[in-house]
Amino acid sequence: METATVLDELFGQRATIDRWLRFEIALAEVEAEHGIIPREAAEAIGRMRVDDLDLSAIGEGAERARHAIVPFVRTLTAAVGPEGEYVHWGSTSQDVLDVGKVLAIRDADEVLQRDLRRLLGALADLAARHRATPMPGRTAGQFATPITFGGKVAGWADELLREMRAFDAVRGIVLTGQLGGTTGQLAILGALGPVVRDDVCTRLGLGAPSATWHTARDRIVRWAFHCAMVAGALGRIAAEIVHLQRSEVGELAEPFGSEQVGSSAMPHKRNPTITATLMASVAMVDAEFTAALGTWRGIHERDKSQFGVEDEYLPRITTRTLALVPQLTHVVENLGVDADAMRRNLDRDGRTVWSEVLLYHVARTHGRATAHELIRAASDAWRPGLDLPRILAEDPGIAPAVIPDELPGEGTIERILGASGAIVDRVLDDVHDYAKVER
């Protein structure tokens, strides 16, 4: 779904006012049950639907009044009729706004959970298919000990799964309702205030807070943190695909449509457009999360300076994150993997990727520390076109260590696949166990 569509469905005027109305209906119904307002008033308010309200008038009124909720309450009051005088009884604007935001986050969370599960499944399938596909490992941008592509993808899946589990643990904290009145003490409702608050939250399917959180914005920030963590995990995957698609590497390729164009000037180009664009969106999520952190500085019982920032970053960080997941899922499900290129790259640069394996061959006769120094010194002789194992085999200082003629040999591959395969299998078990849990 396009970002603009998601934004409209979650944070557009109609969706927002519908959530405000749901709060006002729940408030009236609960207050009637406790004898605070007449039952007839609650029934009249409860019959209201968003189509009964003049949305244009609410929008225009908000511009004139420079206040979002007052025009909404006035319009709802008029639409209800005589019983409308009991609308918004004992509440305050921030209660309506906060509940509306939490309900929007809940709707977004349901979509995000669904999409993340599909992405997690796609990553698990990719890791399983390439459980035994060897490739060069890379550290500090240089060739390192060989790995398997399945092991790399398993690491991607594991990071994403950790964040999904982490938010499972705090979802109830985030999805908490609000009813505090003007200064958070529910003064108009008296001793019944906390009871009404709890019942309203229950009716809306939200948790009930112990205390009013008008200026304590940690719940909203925690959602922003979840978005940033998800985006960060996706951005790391996207960056890896971009780098492994480079011409001199050629191990991966994001899907490229039959009518897609990489460059207006160079017809051959198959640029990693999706992943590069995704990385740019992740950078924007990072910036929006930085803005979210500033909302912790609210003072007293209400601080409007917080909410101006929150109203800007919350829709953006949410909708950007929701848009990222299907994009990366499409890439993962259709990713081109060139296993032959991965194997060819193992032999590049004079098979230096096998230096760790060679280290332990020499260590059997010389000890590890001495072997490390001998191979480090011998490696200074390596140049393009030369072969590290041959250099070591011909080095008199390394004899009598036996340098294998074949790399990778059967035993070497078995060791790599034995460890990497076990890692992949454990992550796949974790993913499958998580998928079985009902959400």
In the structure encoding, which two tokens stand for residue 83, read together?
Answer: 């019983």
Residue pair 282/324 in contact by the 8 Å Cβ criterion:
yes
In the structure encoding, which two tokens stand for residue 86, read together?
Answer: 């009991």
In the structure encoding, which two tokens stand for residue 190, read together?
Answer: 């008296």
Cα separation, 153 vs 128, in Å, equals: 9
The amino acid at residue 324 is L
Residue pair 314/224 in contact by the 8 Å Cβ criterion:
yes
Catalytic residues: 263, 302
What is the SS3 assignment for 35? Answer: coil
Q: Measuring CA to CA, which residue among 176, 170, 172, 173 is closest to residue 200?
A: 176
In the structure encoding, which two tokens stand for residue 19, read together?
Answer: 């959530």
CB atoms within 10 A of CB 99: 26
Report H helices in 68-137.
69-80, 93-129
Residue listed under structure tokens 């709802």: 76
What is the SS3 assignment for 34? Answer: coil
Q: Checking DSSP bridges between strand 336-337 and strand 142-148, what pairing results, if any?
A: unpaired
Residue pair 174/165 in contact by the 8 Å Cβ criterion:
no
Q: Measuring CA to CA, which residue among 296, 160, 184 is closest to residue 232?
A: 160
Residue pair 95/200 in contact by the 8 Å Cβ criterion:
no
